[in-house]
């Protein structure tokens, strides 16, 4: 891993953008496939239903979009010079925490006090 947070966040942003494009394409393909199908998959004992697959894809897309927003917020903090400081106490966030979670906005002691996605 790189110790340069800006470079790491750029790489993560690019990967997420590519991942979101794939998910969006997969959702469009699923919708197109189900539109032309007259199958009653709700009673198909052989696997997942189209509704389940759509819900799963939608959840993964929402999660990726939320993570992309977190990365973009972290990039703004880098640009502003506030990256790596706890939102609660203002103290530096442990570099090991930032290595594991580059979008972290709190130090470890304050992490449990904030809701997570």
Residue-wise pLDDT for 19-42, tens only, equals 999 999 999 988 887 776 655 555
Residue length, the chain? 117
pTM passes above 0.85: no
Q: Which residues of the chain have pLDDT under 70?
A: 1-2, 36-48, 113-117
- Looking at residue 23, its pLDDT comes to 96
- Looking at residue 77, its pLDDT comes to 97
Q: Write the CA distances from 56 to 26, 30, 48, 59, 81, integer angstroms.
A: 11, 12, 10, 5, 37
What mean pLDDT value characterizes the chain?
A: 87
């Amino acid at each position: 891993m790189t110790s340069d947070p800006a470079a790491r966040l750029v790489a993560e942003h690019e990967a997420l953008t590519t991942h979101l494009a794939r998910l969006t394409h997969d959702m469009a393909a699923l919708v197109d496939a189900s539109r032309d199908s007259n199958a009653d998959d709700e009673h198909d004992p052989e696997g997942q239903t189209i509704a389940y697959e759509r819900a799963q894809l939608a959840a993964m897309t929402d999660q990726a979009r939320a993570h992309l927003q977190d990365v973009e917020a972290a990039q703004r903090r880098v640009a502003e010079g506030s990256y790596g400081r706890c939102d609660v106490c203002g103290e530096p966030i442990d570099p090991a925490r930032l290595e594991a979670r580059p979008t972290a906005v709190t130090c470890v002691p304050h992490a449990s006090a904030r809701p997570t996605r």
